Homo-oligomer: A and B are copies of this chain.
Amino acid sequence: MQQRLAAAGLRATHQRILILESLLVLPGHPTAEQVHRQVMANTPTVSLGTVYKTLDSFVEVGLTKRVASADAQCRRYDSDCSEHHHLYCTDTKEIIDYCNPQLDALIRDFFAKQGLENFQPHSFSLHIAGTRVS
C-alpha cells in the first residue's frame, strides 16, 4: 500500500493508506461519504474533509477515477482503473461493472479502421442502460 502511494508520488500517511484500502474493499462506485464510513469503521478519527482532499489527490495521480453518473447528485469514485463498461439498471439505478475483452477489441478495431476526425481516442467506456431480468 505504502509502495503504491510512494510510486504515485504521495506521502504514505495513515489516512491515505486507510482511504486507499477502503476504496479497494468497497464494491461498485462508492461516494466520498461511503468511503468515509468505511474508513471510520476502522479508525473513527478521519474527517470527511480529508477524505475529499485525499480522493482528489488520488484522482490527480491516477490512483482512482471519478465515474460519470447522470442520476447521482454526488460524485462517485472507482478504484478499478482498468478499462471496463457499465450496466445501468433504470429500475434500481444500480451501476454494475461489466468487462468483456471481445467488446473492447470490437470497439478498438472499429476506430482503428475508420478514425475520428480531429480526435485521438485513448479509452472507451460503454454505458448500457436497461433493466435487470431474473
Q: Is the CB of A124 within 8 A of B121?
A: no
Chain B residues, CB < 8 A from A71: 66
Do most interface residues of chain A lie in helix, strand or loop, or is the interface mixed? strand
Contact A122:B131 (CB < 8 A) given known A70-B67, A106-B110: yes
- Bound-state Cα–Cα, A85 to B74, Å: 23
A24 within 8 A of B: no
Residues on A lying within 8 angstroms of B by beta carbon are 65-71, 73, 75, 87, 89-90, 96, 98, 102-103, 106-107, 110-111, 116, 118-134
Q: Report, nearest first, the 10 A-B pairs whose CB atoms are least far apart.
A: A68-B68, A121-B130, A66-B70, A68-B70, A122-B130, A125-B127, A123-B129, A121-B128, A120-B130, A120-B133
